[in-house]
Amino acid sequence: MMAPSGNRSDRDGAPTYLVIGHVTRDVVAGGGYTPGGTACYSALYAERLGARVAVLTSASEFP
């Protein structure tokens, strides 16, 4: 966990790490799906390192 530094983002819960990119829907064995893509994996690892993460992406309508 990151120690508070006194800056605004630490006090109000705002993200400390912004990921901009694509999130995909990966096919897994057995025919299921799981989130994937560069933005997804980058965000997961940043969170594990203690960052409060936000992801900015776009998507088409889902059927």
**6-35 per-position pLDDT tens digit:** 555 556 789 999 999 999 999 999 989 999
Instruction: Decide if 27 is inside a domain.
Output: yes
Please report, rounded to a whole number, the percentage of residues in the chain having pLDDT higher than 90: 67
Count: domains in the chain: 1
Instruction: Decide if 3 is inside a domain.
Output: no
Separation of alpha carbons 41 and 34, rounded Å = 12
Q: Residue written as tokens 């057995």?
A: 30
**Residue 51 belongs to what domain range?**
15-56
Angular region, 19: left φ>0, alpha ψ -120 to 50, beta rest: beta
Nearest to 37 by CA among 52, 15, 55: 55
Question: What CA–CA distances, in Å, run from 12 to 5, 24, 62?
Answer: 12, 30, 33
Report, as an integer, the average pLDDT of 29-42.
93
Tell me the pTM.
0.68
Instruction: Decide if 37 is inside a domain.
Output: yes
Instruction: Decide if 50 is inside a domain.
Output: yes
